[in-house]
Amino acid sequence: MTAAANPDREVEVAVVGAGPAGAAVATLLARAGRDVVVIDRSAAPAWRACGVFSSPASVAALRRIGLDARTLDALTRRTPAMRVETLLRTAFRLTYGDDGSLAAPAVGFARPALDAAVLDLAAAAGARIMLGTTVEAVELSDRAGANNRLELRRGTAPSRILARVVVGADGIRSSVARAAGVARATRLGRRVGLTWHVVDPRPGERRDARMVVLRGAYCGLAPVPHGRVNVGLVLHGRDWRSVLAREGAAATALRALQAIPRTTDDPTDWAAAERCDPIIGASPLGHRVTRRAGPGWILAGDAGGFLDPFTGEGLHRALVSAELGAAAVDAHLRADRSALAAYDRAMRNRFATKDAVSQLVQGFLARPTLFEYAARRLAARSQVRETMGLVMGDLVPARRALDPRFLAGLLAP
């Protein structure tokens, strides 16, 4: 799968980052006949701080990119709903449109295996994959048609790639976004994310994922394949961040799991569950960009802006950006000089309203009384709850959640 870099090698497209967004962009461009190289510092797809729970929209996108049903079945664990639980134990279920009849409901992903599967698609399509290679510097041209330059290092060997287009798919600390001067801090305030897996005490059982709101934090439990449960913990309160700084990640994780209440359908003592892998952290959790494209470059996936939407869908956004981005890059290479700017507009139009909804959800989370008020209405009002699930799952336009009739249904006494 790997290939050595040659000094001053020229390619049409250099993709920085071999996660789902980067691998999907490379797959689609290579299928279009483009000369593509994918560069990632990891020697192989590995567990990293990332989302694992997603709605049917992500499964549909992966099918469009080319993953077959058998592969998807091996990579996913079907999940009836995401159950959201408040500090006062109000609970409501987001089913993402599934009444039990959907062939592809919400799922939990085995993420390193998913990343590897999409990367294999890219390699099979003809993209050259350079793993274990660090991008040490990115120099983006300010002129359309001029080459961009990437300074690379694999072990002790330096090399250089000249690319007509650079795709930054290298996450929330994107070197491409920094080189373009478009990276900005998130407006949500400082948050820290921790994530890890534990052994599933009931691996054969089909059950809800849980999102439990704590004071100053929230914790997600998502069943995934291979007998594991993914734990995702977001710390937004000062007290939790102080615990993390004083006691470390393991102690913070234990405190959070000790706060997860046992329920009738989930009597597990999660604090006693065996941890499967190291705790991975991300801070700051999220970032934004002023634009996602410029002369000879685009940003895809989390590199193009990440705003934690509380119930997932970062993966779906990454795959949509890959599809739109690949089409734009191909058109650009066919001399359509407006294509990359059009990609930026398309992504803004596609996700600006969803970001506004996610900001609204985060605003409620920061005010427990308001969140409790909204949660009780969602629990009691099935139509409002169903719309919220469809919006959060990217299954209907996000503007539905800002419709005055929906807001009245959500907020009216």
4, pLDDT greater than 50 = no
143, pLDDT greater than 90 = no
pLDDT number for residue 243: 94
49, pLDDT greater than 90 = no
pTM of the model: 0.92
374, pLDDT greater than 90 = yes
In this prediction, residue 29 has a pLDDT band, given cuts at 50, 70 and 90, of very high
Lowest mean pLDDT among 65-69, 364-368, 406-410: 364-368
Partner residues linked to 195 by β-bridges: 232, 280
Partner residues linked to 149 by β-bridges: 139, 162
The proportion of the chain whose per-residue pLDDT surpasses 70, expressed as a percent, equals 95
pLDDT number for residue 104: 60
18, pLDDT greater than 50 = yes
The proportion of the chain whose per-residue pLDDT surpasses 90, expressed as a percent, equals 74
DSSP string, 308-367: --SS--HHHHHHHHHHHHHHHHHHHHTT-TTHHHHHHHHHHHHHHHHHHHHHHHHHHHTS
100, pLDDT greater than 70 = no
Give the domain ranges of the chain.
9-49+113-186+285-354, 80-100+189-282, 368-411
Kindly report whether the peptide bond that precedes residue 284 is cis, defined as omega within 30 degrees of 0.
yes
Lowest mean pLDDT among 2-11, 144-153, 167-176, 283-292: 2-11
pLDDT number for residue 404: 94
pLDDT number for residue 235: 92
Question: Is-contact 168 175, C-beta < 8 A?
Answer: yes
> Residue 122 half-sphere exposure, CB side, CA atoms within 13 Å?
33
Model confidence pLDDT, tens digit, residues 53-88: 998 999 999 999 999 999 999 999 999 999 999 999
According to DSSP, residue 56 is labeled H
In this prediction, residue 2 has a pLDDT band, given cuts at 50, 70 and 90, of very low
pLDDT number for residue 3: 46
pLDDT number for residue 308: 67
More confident residue, 15 or 171: 15
Query: 392: buried, middle or exposed (CB in 10 Å: 19+, 13-18, 0-12)?
Result: buried
Model confidence pLDDT, tens digit, residues 330-347: 999 999 999 999 999 999
226, pLDDT greater than 70 = yes
Model confidence pLDDT, tens digit, residues 273-318: 999 999 998 877 778 899 999 999 999 999 998 776 676 678 999 9
Tokens of 244: 């993390």
CATH, range 80-100+189-282: 3.30.9.100
* Rounded distance between C-alpha atoms, residue 308 and residue 303, angstroms: 13
pLDDT number for residue 45: 86
Q: How many residues does the chain have?
A: 413
Q: Is 68 helix (H, G, I), strand (E, B) or coil?
A: coil
Q: Give the right CATH number for 9-49+113-186+285-354 from 3.50.50.60, 3.40.30.10, 3.40.50.300, 3.40.50.800.
A: 3.50.50.60
pLDDT number for residue 102: 58
Which of 316, 357, 358, 323 is closest to 343 using CA atoms? Answer: 323
pLDDT number for residue 309: 61
Give Cα separations from 263 to 137, 217, 230, 329, 355 (angstroms).
Answer: 51, 20, 18, 50, 32
5, pLDDT greater than 50 = no
* Rounded distance between C-alpha atoms, residue 211 and residue 135, angstroms: 36
